[in-house]
Structure 1
Amino acid sequence: MVERSHGVQSWIDRLSQAELPALTSVVRDLQHLSQRSDASVQQLADILLRDATLTSKVLRVANSVYYNPSQESIRTISRAIVLIGFDNVRLISLSVSLIDGLLIQAPRQQLLELLARSFHAAVQARNLGGYVLGNHAEEVFIAALLHHLGELAFWSCGGAQVDELTAALEVPGVDEDEAVRGVLGTSFRQLTQGLAKSWGLGELVSLAHAGSSHADPALRAVQLGVRISEAALQGWGSSEMEAVLGRVAPFIGLNAEEALQQVLASAEEAVKVASTFGAGKLCRLIPSTDPEQIVGQQQARKASLLQPDLLVMQQALQDLGLMANQRGNVDLILDTLLKGLHRGAGLERVMLAVLADEQRCFKVKRVLGEQSEQWLREFVLPAVQVEQPHIFSYALRHREAIWMGVPATYSLNELVTLPIRQSLGTGMFFIAPLMAGNREVGVLYADCRVSGRALRHEQFVAFQRFTLLAGRCLGALSKR
């Protein structure tokens, strides 16, 4: 009977010595080889020839159309290295070892899904790396493939504790990280980093769990590949995928549509790679790129998106009317205002940017809606820019609500400056000044860019009404 493991070192010892010794040995030796500048063909061949089954599988993959389109027969490891390259043979060897080592027993669904996601992430990362790295794309593939190594190893070899964690994760409202810590005594991230250090997997595997501020393009490729594989599970047209594409596009120097096409092509390639490596059962778990299915996903998403709610809007307007006469507090006024615009008028993203720092700049005070949280942290705009006037100061100065993106306001398009487009995106939006009597408070902004739907006349009318009514509330408050 396998003893219960608790804590990161306990799991490292168990996985390395009792459960996965063969995999540990091969992975460690292959990675050590990559770190030696004088590594030879024979040294790589020697590692593989220790295991006849592994050798035969590597040769089968090397002879596949994916790696050997000329179909020139490859019968030895040394010949494979000559024809398809040292790094490719090492990558194939490590991938096949991982599949064999983890799927040796009857694999659980959690393991299959995570391994499929890992292969998807690896191909996405390698192809992104191809845009920004002169070489070392194979290292990026391996780092993304092993990004969830600790979790993969647990679902493969965790024994009774796998059943325990499965049960814990099925409890409604459970915090997944807390459940994992409760059963394992450590997190999956710490287990992956511990195994990476113990197995000598190199810096890239460990650093990929660090924050996104790291400037190394290889590391960014790994992190983006992993995020794409996660977002794809929500649908190619999901808000999660849109957010990831917003980072992918500038990273590889493409626009959003071109970046999506690159990502879709990589997803199709991931299916071929998984099949080539002998993991055909993973193929159906990598999100499909079939155009009809993508359209269906996008339509289903739009159907479920925010819709105007007249009852919510009427209640919010009524509440603001009462507060204009009874002088409600500022927080309640602003909460009612944003709720009315978001849930009532059906505006997907709403933002209040107030004049701050002695009225020298606009800073975000309140937001509501998907993809708007980052504005609280990142959006700052100088209030006055003589050399580059912008739509925020224009709206405040002219004291009128503006519907940008319609013919009547085309003449103002140059006021939507590059910093504004980078922060808020492109397309239609509403903007209006928020006043407290004659005092300038800031600017209200709203759009429907989560879905890309066009804004409607009735929404603009509601936007104007809410803005004026909130101004009356704040004006009444300031007369106290």
Structure 2
Amino acid sequence: MLRVQEMPIFSNTASHIYAYLDDRNKGAMELAAIILQDPNLTAKLLKVGNSPYYNPSKQKMNTISRAIVVLGAEVIRELTLACSFFEAILTSSNKERANREIALALHAAVQARELAVIVGDTSPEEVFIAALLHNIGHIAFWCSNNPQARKIHELIERSGLRSSEAEKQVLGFSLRDLGKRLGKSWHLGGLIEEAMSRPEAADSRIRAVTMGHKICEALKAGGDSASMRDCLSKLAGMTGKTTDELSERIEKSTRQAIQIARQFGANDASRFIGGGLAVARAADEEADAKPDKKQLQIQILQDISSHISGAIDLNVLFQMVLEGIHRGVEMDRTLFMLLTPDKHTLKEKFSLGWQKPVGGEKIQVHNSEAQANLLFGALNQSEGVWQYPDQQPTLYTAQIVERIGRHPCFVFPVHAENKAIGLIYCDRSINGLPLSGEDFTAAKHFAKQAHIGLTLYRMKAH
């Protein structure tokens, strides 16, 4: 019952991303489309992705498309899972305990990844995720609003029992056992489940995960405690580093964990990171100001300019253009379609905002009707059209209504060497907000970037 009904730790977006990354047939652009379905996640990923911890090269990223290219899909998964944890706190009635558990998870994950880097692990991001999810049973339970949580808390306060003993008395099992069951139920697999089931194993990656958590426990006892001395001794044997150097790295990682928590907006959780270390007292001064529409358009155009000034990846280019229209012009649905070689069919290449299942059927529109339809009619235009169903009813044929609907929209043909090769479609059919001339001009400007990038790509290819 706990497993099925009351463990909403992963958002739907996070679950889709986790499943996506296990499917080797998926591409980076499909990952971007999943993330962009969630505006809050998009904003947080870009904010944290631009922080010095994740982006030491300081390559400014204003689009998810560019973030995936710069950071890599594994880092994006890491950030998405962390986002899901912090979202879970917001719905918890046991906020203090939930914040403590998530603070521990994030802190241990940062410490574990640093250990993985020191010993030359080939995938420190995987170690980070395994450490982040190591106590998933505790996090899921304390974020779940389960009525048994209060009983466990009262029993610990009243009797002084260890947490695991109180858990067993109230629930009949420990939260560590719950974590193992959740790991299997959610098919987390790999290093995550290995570290849960064999925490004392000699494997260096599992040791990095478990030592990440032991560092956090030792810090609670104090930097000069016997627990910390024992911990540093084990770390020295594991890494070949001196205890002084390790102490410096631990303190640095603690500060980084606090900063990351605050960048995710988890100020309360950040206060529980690092025990008595002085760095925990700093206040978060970063504003979560949302850029206005014009500012966001300029930022995304900067990403596009950076991309087309180097080696151009057309998939990334068109995804950035679509993201610019979708986020920068605040369109509900955006679609890029390519014309087939026989000129008879337009096929979806990328789309954002369409309410269909992840991995659902791609949209196709055929030039098989007696009169020109909305999309094939737009292919013959030079710069783009702004259409209303009431003003041009014949363009909204049965096929268009079935595939796309009857909505006011912008449609921009995409040309290469004066020949139409596809188009960009966008509308506000979900929220129903009106379109404006300013919106049309901004969307047209993004569509022109696609044309410029395509021209530069062909010039560089010759």
Q: Report if the CA contact (8 A) 1:28-1:200 is conserved.
A: no
Instruction: For 2:197 and 2:182, locate their aligned partners in 1 and report how far apart those are by CA, in whole Å.
Output: 16
Q: Tell me, what secondary structure is at the counterpart of 2:196?
A: coil
Instruction: For 1:30 and 1:140, locate their aligned partners in 2 and report how far apart those are by CA, in whole Å.
Output: 18
Residue equivalent to 1:145: 132
Instruction: For 1:111 and 1:216, locate their aligned partners in 2 and report how far apart those are by CA, in whole Å.
Output: 30
Note closer, same or farther for the CA distance 1:217–1:31 as it changes in structure 2 (3 Å cut): farther
Note closer, same or farther for the CA distance 1:92–1:211 as it changes in structure 2 (3 Å cut): closer
Higher helix share: 1
Note closer, same or farther for the CA distance 1:211–1:160 as it changes in structure 2 (3 Å cut): same
Consecutive unaligned residues in structure 1, runs of 5 or more: 1-9, 294-480
Look up the equivalent residue of 2:131 and give its one-letter code.
Answer: A
Q: Tell me, what secondary structure is at the counterpart of 2:143?
A: helix
Name the stretch that deviates more: 253-262 or 214-223: 253-262
Look up the equivalent residue of 2:77 and give its one-letter code.
Answer: R
Residue equivalent to 1:12: 3
Residue equivalent to 1:184: 171
Note closer, same or farther for the CA distance 1:248–1:39 as it changes in structure 2 (3 Å cut): farther
What do you get for the CA RMSD once the two structures are aligned? 2.4
Note closer, same or farther for the CA distance 1:207–1:40 as it changes in structure 2 (3 Å cut): same
Structure 1 residue 63, shift from structure 2 partner? 2.9
Note closer, same or farther for the CA distance 1:212–1:181 as it changes in structure 2 (3 Å cut): closer
Structure 1 residue 146, shift from structure 2 partner? 1.1
Find the partner of 2:188 among 201, 210, 229. 201
Residue equivalent to 1:104: 91
Find the partner of 2:149 among 155, 158, 162. 162
Instruction: For 2:133 and 2:190, locate their aligned partners in 1 and report how far apart those are by CA, in whole Å.
Output: 12
Residue equivalent to 1:74: 61
Give per-residue Cα distances to partners, 1:320-374, cap 9 Å, x unaligned. xxxxxxxxxxxxxxxxxxxxxxxxxxxxxxxxxxxxxxxxxxxxxxxxxxxxxxx
Instruction: For 1:157 and 1:133, locate their aligned partners in 2 and report how far apart those are by CA, in whole Å.
Output: 37
Consecutive unaligned residues in structure 2, runs of 5 or more: 282-462
Residue equivalent to 1:130: 117
Instruction: For 1:275 and 1:51, locate their aligned partners in 2 and report how far apart those are by CA, in whole Å.
Output: 20
Note closer, same or farther for the CA distance 1:258–1:187 as it changes in structure 2 (3 Å cut): same
Residue equivalent to 1:220: 207
Residue equivalent to 2:224: 237
Instruction: For 2:30 and 2:149, locate their aligned partners in 1 and report how far apart those are by CA, in whole Å.
Output: 38
Q: Tell me, what secondary structure is at the counterpart of 1:67?
A: coil
Structure 1 residue 153, shift from structure 2 partner? 1.4
Q: Does 1:269 align with 2:260?
A: no
Structure 1 residue 211, shift from structure 2 partner? 4.4
Look up the equivalent residue of 2:61 and give its one-letter code.
Answer: I
Instruction: For 2:203 and 2:60, locate their aligned partners in 1 and report how far apart those are by CA, in whole Å.
Output: 39
Note closer, same or farther for the CA distance 1:189–1:106 as it changes in structure 2 (3 Å cut): closer
Instruction: For 1:141 and 1:177, locate their aligned partners in 2 and report how far apart those are by CA, in whole Å.
Output: 24
Instruction: For 1:133 and 1:65, locate their aligned partners in 2 and report how far apart those are by CA, in whole Å.
Output: 21
Instruction: For 1:211 and 1:134, locate their aligned partners in 2 and report how far apart those are by CA, in whole Å.
Output: 19
Matches within 5 A, 1:13-412: 13-16=4-7, 19-20=8-9, 23=10, 25-69=12-56, 72-105=59-92, 107-287=94-274, 288-290=276-278
Q: Tell me, what secondary structure is at the counterpart of 1:170?
A: helix
Normalising to structure 1: TM-score of the pair? 0.54
Normalising to structure 2: TM-score of the pair? 0.56
Note closer, same or farther for the CA distance 1:157–1:133 as it changes in structure 2 (3 Å cut): same
Instruction: For 2:91 and 2:248, locate their aligned partners in 1 and report how far apart those are by CA, in whole Å.
Output: 36
Give per-residue Cα distances to partners, 1:94-143, cap 9 Å, x unaligned. 11122112333455211111211111100000000012244211111111
Instruction: For 2:263 and 2:32, locate their aligned partners in 1 and report how far apart those are by CA, in whole Å.
Output: 21
**Residue identity (%):** 34
The higher radius of gyration belongs to 1
Instruction: For 1:273 and 1:251, locate their aligned partners in 2 and report how far apart those are by CA, in whole Å.
Output: 26
Instruction: For 1:98 and 1:212, locate their aligned partners in 2 and report how far apart those are by CA, in whole Å.
Output: 22
Instruction: For 1:212 and 1:58, locate their aligned partners in 2 and report how far apart those are by CA, in whole Å.
Output: 31
Instruction: For 1:286 and 1:73, locate their aligned partners in 2 and report how far apart those are by CA, in whole Å.
Output: 28
Instruction: For 2:215 and 2:154, locate their aligned partners in 1 and report how far apart those are by CA, in whole Å.
Output: 28
Matches within 5 A, 1:408-447: none
Instruction: For 2:207 and 2:26, locate their aligned partners in 1 and report how far apart those are by CA, in whole Å.
Output: 27
Q: Tell me, what secondary structure is at the counterpart of 2:6?
A: helix
What is the aligned length?
Answer: 280
Structure 1 residue 254, shift from structure 2 partner? 0.9
Q: Report if the CA contact (8 A) 2:94-2:145 is conserved.
A: no
Q: Report if the CA contact (8 A) 1:133-1:218 is conserved.
A: no
Q: Tell me, what secondary structure is at the counterpart of 2:201?
A: coil
Residue equivalent to 1:384: none
Structure 1 residue 181, shift from structure 2 partner? 1.6
Look up the equivalent residue of 1:275 and give its one-letter code.
Answer: R
